[in-house]
Amino acid sequence: MFAFCSSYGVLDRVSGIVQLYILEQRFLGMANLKRNNHDLPQCYQKGFTNSADQVWVKFADKPTPELRNPASVGRRRSLYIREHNGVENDEVEDFFSQNVETLFAALSQRIKDEREKFSEISGTELGILGRFVASQTVRTLAHKQCIEEQAGGPVDRNTFLRVMGRKMWTMMDVWLKNRPKFYFYTPLPYVGEHFITGDNPVLVIQMNENQIWVPADTPNIVITDLGRILQNPNHGFWISLSPYVCVSIRGQWDEKLRLPPETMEPRNVRLFNSLVRGQSKDFILARDKESLN
């Protein structure tokens, strides 16, 4: 009897040690999670950096623009940390890093370097660009706030990540089934206006056909259903890729890739930038300070 009790006590202690080890490993894993999540990726911001690898940023709560390193801009603590069965993981951050940002970085650098002379892009690179635009449409804190407005209140991180993933795959699925048009634009040779960006960089524009001519469009910023937008062949997802190049992904493919970038008149560059300012929540960003005025 004594021997049995002694063995049982040893097993009980071993079981306790194992459980403590498991808990320790779980907490160590949680401590090592990648929690500094950029909803405006550094590889994207680098398209706007100056010769010192810095960007000018105008924060909504500060009176004057600041010169910043991309690592310090658009960063949200634990934004992409998901909880599954009571355990946190950084699989979403890993997905963005491996399947979106790393692939986009090389293309972004080439667009930045070639500017208005950017004239070639492969089918694979179009896919990389489309995936980046789809992810950037839904991964921002500004989009989380839109989800909360639609829900009528705050949503937890898991809900945000689930909706984000569903919307991203919806966009990719539609574009895979109906190849969209890619239009590239540049402000060059005009030098007075440059493209800017912000914490909510993708402009989702739906053109409405109207038989009655009007002298000018009056854009309205509203929360709209993504599915309805994608069903409209006149939809467009616009994003600046550098101070000198922006892209619009629209409707269905017409076999005509618009490269090199078409010149955009200064007044339309100003309109584009005003729309970026209008939907940015926390900050706008540019290569030069003057563009933020």
Q: What is the pLDDT along the chain (293 residues), one digit of tens a residue?
A: 434 344 545 545 555 555 554 444 444 445 589 999 999 999 999 999 999 999 999 999 999 999 999 999 999 999 999 999 989 999 999 999 999 999 999 999 999 999 999 999 999 999 999 999 999 999 999 899 888 988 899 999 999 999 999 999 999 999 998 889 999 999 999 999 999 999 999 999 876 554 443 444 454 544 557 777 888 877 899 999 999 999 999 887 666 788 999 999 999 999 999 999 999 999 999 999 999 98
Q: What is the pLDDT of residue 117?
A: 96
If one counts the domains in the chain, the total is 2
- Rounded to an integer, what distance in angstroms lies between the CA atom of residue 244 and that of residue 114? 9
- Specify whether 16 is located in the same domain as 146: no
- Rounded to an integer, what distance in angstroms lies between the CA atom of residue 4 and that of residue 9? 9
- Specify whether 130 is located in the same domain as 242: yes
- Specify whether 26 is located in the same domain as 41: no
**pTM metric for this prediction:** 0.83
- Specify whether 90 is located in the same domain as 111: yes
φ/ψ (deg, to 5) at 154: -60, 150
- Specify whether 28 is located in the same domain as 40: no
264 in Cβ contact with 172 (< 8 Å): no
- Specify whether 89 is located in the same domain as 161: yes
User: Would the CA dihedral through 96, 274, 114, 112 be positive or negative?
Assistant: negative
- Rounded to an integer, what distance in angstroms lies between the CA atom of residue 39 and that of residue 37? 6
- Specify whether 5 is located in the same domain as 70: no
- Specify whether 7 is located in the same domain as 137: no
92 to 79, 96, 240, 263: CA distances (angstroms): 10, 6, 24, 37
Domain of 225? 36-292
- Specify whether 196 is located in the same domain as 106: yes
- Specify whether 202 is located in the same domain as 259: yes
Provide the residue type at 101 as one letter: E
- Specify whether 168 is located in the same domain as 239: yes
Q: Which two tokens stand for residue 130?
A: 């489309």
- Rounded to an integer, what distance in angstroms lies between the CA atom of residue 193 and that of residue 267? 9
Cis before 189 (ω within 30): yes
**Total residues belonging to the chain:** 293
- Specify whether 14 is located in the same domain as 49: no
